[in-house]
């Protein structure tokens, strides 16, 4: 991968790191181009990668979209590419965790919202500041934010541009876990390892059903689950056999 996104694999865990620390990982088109390449590499790896961690180098996850990009007209020129890149991230078959620290504003929040889970530290600050700058969302904020926090809370964040700190982020569901700044990396890694112990096929099927049933009435969603879910995955027999073998050893 190029210098703006670093790509690291340890076992079945892949870590993607935004790597513009000198500008608090501000997002521009070049960052998204390298992110798209990384996402394609992850898709090609298939079940060899069981979990993805998305994070930022230096003092912050990301301060948001690079204002120099916006001032130069890049916002409109590349909006479709950036939006489709976030959709590609959201559509990865394995769980994706955004490990967020420091700042996570506007475009960076849209990026984090494309992950399945958002883990933050207790010093993190998050906000949607589109209205502060006279902008409207084009990377998915109006759709992903209310699905996380509810319509009223999303309106509050979008209309006020106010900063959300860690305690409130957890309370409203904007963050899924809050750790200390010192333990965020370790705790996120431990969770990712837990994820990779489970069935990749199960994760893939569940993500597909959850995404495709979003917005459906419950009976329509249930019909989809009954139709799409195989019930037993290809590794089910092996996993059950391992468990029963361990149980027999304990009782012997």
Per-residue pLDDT of the chain (252 residues; tens, 9 = 90+): 459 999 999 999 999 999 999 999 999 999 999 999 999 999 999 999 999 999 999 999 999 998 877 665 555 556 799 999 999 999 999 999 999 999 999 999 999 999 999 999 999 999 999 999 999 999 999 999 999 999 999 999 999 999 999 999 999 999 999 999 999 999 999 999 999 999 999 999 999 999 999 989 999 999 999 999 988 888 788 888 888 877 667 766
pTM to 2 decimals? 0.92
Predicted pLDDT at 76: 55
Determine the 3-state secondary structure of 104 from DSSP.
strand
Task: Sketch the domain layout of the chain as residue ranges.
Answer: 5-196, 200-251
What confidence score (pLDDT) does residue 70 get?
Answer: 67
- Locate 26 and state its tokens: 């501000």
Q: Order the strands of the 5-10 sheet from edge to edge.
A: 5-10, 13-18, 51-56, 96-100, 117-121, 177-179
| Strand (E) or helix (H) holding 164 | strand 164-165
CATH fit for domain 5-196, picks 3.40.50.150, 3.40.50.1240, 3.90.226.10, 3.30.360.10? 3.90.226.10
Both tokens of 94, joined, read: 């394995």
pLDDT at 71: 62
Task: Reduce the DSSP state of residue 170 to 3 states and report it.
Answer: helix
pLDDT value at residue 231? 86
């Amino acid at each position: 991968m190029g210098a703006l996104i670093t790509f690291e694999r340890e076992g079945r865990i892949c870590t993607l790191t935004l790597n513009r620390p000198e500008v608090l990982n501000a997002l521009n088109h070049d960052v998204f181009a390298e992110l798209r390449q990384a996402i394609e590499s992850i898709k090609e790896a298939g079940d060899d990668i069981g979990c993805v961690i998305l994070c930022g180098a230096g003092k912050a996850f990301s301060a948001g979209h690079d204002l120099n990009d916006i001032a130069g007209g890049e916002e409109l020129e590349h909006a479709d590419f950036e939006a489709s890149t976030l959709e590609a991230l959201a559509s990865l078959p394995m769980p994706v965790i955004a490990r967020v620290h420091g700042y996570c504003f506007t475009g960076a929040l849209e990026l984090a919202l494309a992950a399945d889970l958002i883990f933050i530290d207790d010093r993190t600050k998050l906000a949607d500041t589109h209205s502060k700058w006279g902008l409207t969302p084009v990377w998915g904020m109006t759709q992903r934010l209310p699905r996380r926090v509810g319509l009223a809370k999303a309106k509050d964040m979008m209309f006020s541009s106010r900063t959300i700190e860690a305690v409130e982020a957890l309370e409203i569901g904007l963050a899924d876990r809050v750790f200390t700044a010192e333990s965020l990396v370790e705790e996120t890694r431990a969770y990712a390892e837990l994820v990779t112990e489970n069935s990749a096929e199960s994760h893939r099927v569940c993500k597909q059903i959850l995404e495709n049933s979003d917005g459906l009435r419950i009976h329509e969603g249930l019909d989809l689950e009954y139709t799409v879910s195989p019930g037993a995955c290809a590794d089910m027999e092996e996993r059950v056999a391992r468990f029963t073998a361990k149980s027999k050893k304990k009782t012997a």
